[in-house]
Amino acid sequence: MSTSYFGKTHHKNNKANAYRHALWNMLIAYRSTKAGKSLSKALDWAKTITDWHESAFANKDLEKAMDLHNNKMGRIWFEKIYRQNNVLSTTDLHHKLMKELDLSEKVSTVNSSAFVLKTLVYINNCIDVFTFENYQFKMDDQGFIPLSEFADLLFENDVVSLARIVTEQPDDVLFKKKNVKHNIRFKKVEIPPEPMFPDITHRIACQGGIHKDSFADYTEIMRSLQKQSSEWFEKFVDDYNEEVKKRFPKR
C-alpha cells in the first residue's frame, strides 16, 4: 500500500515513511484480530514484531526513535478505530493515516517535544499533502496531484477517459476557459494477446496529474460533467420506459 500511494519515497525518513510504519502496525493488529485474536493480544503481537525489527537492524538513534514512535502511533490509532467500529477495512486505516499525515511533526533530535505528542513524526520533508474540501491528496514537489490520487477507485479505462477529457479539452466543457494546468501524458503499453481477444496487443495508459492551483477548477468541471451524465441517463431511462409502455401496453 505504501508503494502504491507514495512510490519508493517511503524508504526515506519522511512523511511517507511515517505512514508506512504506522500502517505496518495497524495491519499486523488488523490481520491478527481477523484471525480471531483479542484486541490486546493483537496489539501485543504487533509491538513484539516491530520492536524486534528495530532492535535487529542497525539504525541511527533519531531514525530509530522516529520508527518506534510511529509504530506506537499505529497501534494507538488502531485500538481507537477498532473500539469505535469493530468492522474495519484496510481503506479505513489508510484514510485515518492520510488525515494524520497533515498533522505530523518534523523532528531533529531524540529529545524533540513532538515525541510526546500523539502524532506522526518525520525527519526529512520529501512529500507534501494537498487538502481540498474534506479530502487529502499526495502532491509531488512540483505541486501536481497524481491522477491516481483522485481516480484510483475508477477502472483504468475510466482513468484514461478522464485524462483525455483534460488533455484534449473538447469545446463542450470548460477546460479551455479555465486553462487547467496539468502534466498528463499518455503512453502505449504492449500486452500479450489473449485467446479471446487475439487482435488486442496494447492498451493506453496515462500518467501525470492536475496542478494544485487548478484543482478547484478541475473539480468544478468534473462535477458538471458528472451531473450532465446523470441527467442524460435519467432521461434515457424515462424515454426507454415510455417506449416500452407504447409497444407493450397493459391489457
Q: How confident is the model at residue 151 (pLDDT cuts 50, 70, 90)?
A: low
Least confident of 35-39, 48-52, 132-136: 132-136
Tell me the percentage of the chain whose pLDDT exceeds 70.
Answer: 79
User: Which of the given ranges, 11-15, 31-35, 107-111, 229-233, has the highest pLDDT on average?
Assistant: 31-35
Rounded to whole angstroms, the Cα distance separating 112 from 60 reads 15
Confidence (pLDDT) at 85: 79
Per-residue buried b or exposed e for 106-135, using 16+ beta carbons within 10 Å of the residue's own CB: ebeeeebebbeeebbbbbeebbbbbeeeee
- Enclosing H/E stretch for 137: strand 135-139
Confidence (pLDDT) at 10: 44
Chain Cα centroid distance, residue 174: 27
* 127 pLDDT above the threshold of 70: no
Rounded to whole angstroms, the Cα distance separating 38 from 233 reads 48
Query: Which DSSP string corresponds to 147-195?
Result: HHHHHTTS-HHHHHHHHHHHHH--TTSSHHHHT--B--EEEEEE----S
User: Which of the given ranges, 66-70, 152-156, 168-172, has the highest pLDDT on average?
Assistant: 66-70
* 16 pLDDT above the threshold of 80: yes
Q: Output the CA–CA distances (angstroms, integers) from residue 98 to 16, 23, 60, 108, 142, in the order listed.
A: 10, 10, 26, 22, 20
pLDDT 10s digits, 191-248: 777 777 778 777 777 777 888 888 888 877 777 777 877 888 888 888 888 888 888 8
Q: Output the CA–CA distances (angstroms, integers) from residue 84 to 17, 78, 115, 118, 141, in the order listed.
A: 26, 10, 25, 18, 36
Tell me the percentage of the chain whose pLDDT exceeds 90.
Answer: 18
* 45 pLDDT above the threshold of 80: yes
* 86 pLDDT above the threshold of 80: no
The 8-class DSSP code of residue 131 comes to: E
Give the mean model confidence (pLDDT) for residues 84-91.
75
